[in-house]
Amino acid sequence: MTLTGATRSKLSRNYSLMCPDSHVPLNLPQWKNCQVIYTASPEMGAKFCQFLVNMKAGGSFCSESQTDEFLLLVLEGAIELTFGGATHRLQQDGFAHLKAGERFELKNPGDTGRILAFQKKYAPMPGATGAVISFVSSLAQTSAKPFLGDDGALLQTLLPEDSAWDWGVNVFEFQPGATLPIVEMHFMEHGLYFLQGQGVYRLGSDWHLVEQGDAIWMGPYLEQWFAATGKISSKYIYYKEMNRAPG
């Protein structure tokens, strides 16, 4: 029996863990027929937003931001995304990058749809190489590489790494028993969502049991380490600041 009043969710000065049992869905006017659950935002100290959207049948959204870039991942269902005069049907595992100022529309033509979104203000850099573009793809179409030579920890890099891009979004898959090779400490923040499996996350001096559906915000310089447990591989998607110096 679940003990009422207990949760693994926690908000600290420089990190948060939000578990599904703490979700309070919001109705926002821009998201018609949808429920939105923010799991990271400036109110907790993050410099970006991460949120989940449950899209009911006919649910829709039309972007209005001139400044923000978005990364959308379909967790469930099939969502229609329109931008640049074309409509794309994104199935589960499909993702889209929308560059800052791109006007786009989302629609759920099916019964239920669920998406994960990362949203942040784009930071331009004079003289940067490459061009930031809007595109659609899927996790299945994205290659995975061993992280620092470890076959048990595979990394998928979803976005190009040219210096025009100020963020990265990656998917990490760990075989049971695999770990991050070091306790990392860096100025870049992370927003993270567990797609599959379970494990132990070290966040600062705290150790948390984590599993599919959990969301984490890691603030600057937070000590972080992960070990995958359970019988299937653990998979998480995470956002990271890229190509920009602090300050």
- Footprint (CB under 5 A) of Mn ion, residues 166-185: 184
Residue 44, φ and ψ in degrees, nearest 5: -95, -5
Smallest distance, ligand UGY to C-beta of residue 77, A:
27
Residues between 181 and 220 that touch ligand UGY (CB under 6 A): 184, 190
Which of 39, 54, 134, 224 is in the footprint of ligand UGY by CB under 6 A?
224
3-state secondary structure of 184: strand
Shortest Cβ distance from residue 49 to ligand UGY (Å)?
A: 19
Element (H, E) at 73: strand 68-76
- State the minimum distance, in angstroms, from the CB of residue 201 to ligand UGY: 8
Residue 166 parent element (H or E): none
Minimum gap (Å) between residue 52 Cβ and Mn ion: 22
Interface with ligand UGY, residue 32, by CB under 6 A: no
Under the binding rule (CB under 6 A), the answer on residue 97 touching ligand UGY is: no
Q: How many residues does the chain have?
A: 247
Exactly one of 172, 174, 194, 217 binds ligand UGY (CB under 6 A); that residue is 172
- Write out the E strands in 63-134: 68-76, 79-83, 86-90, 94-98, 104-107, 113-121
Q: Which of 172, 108, 118, 165 is nearest to 142 (CA)?
A: 172
Residue 76 CB coordination number (10 Å): 15
Residue 118 interacts with ligand UGY (CB under 6 A)?
no
> Which residues would be at the binding site for Mn ion (CB under 5 A)?
184
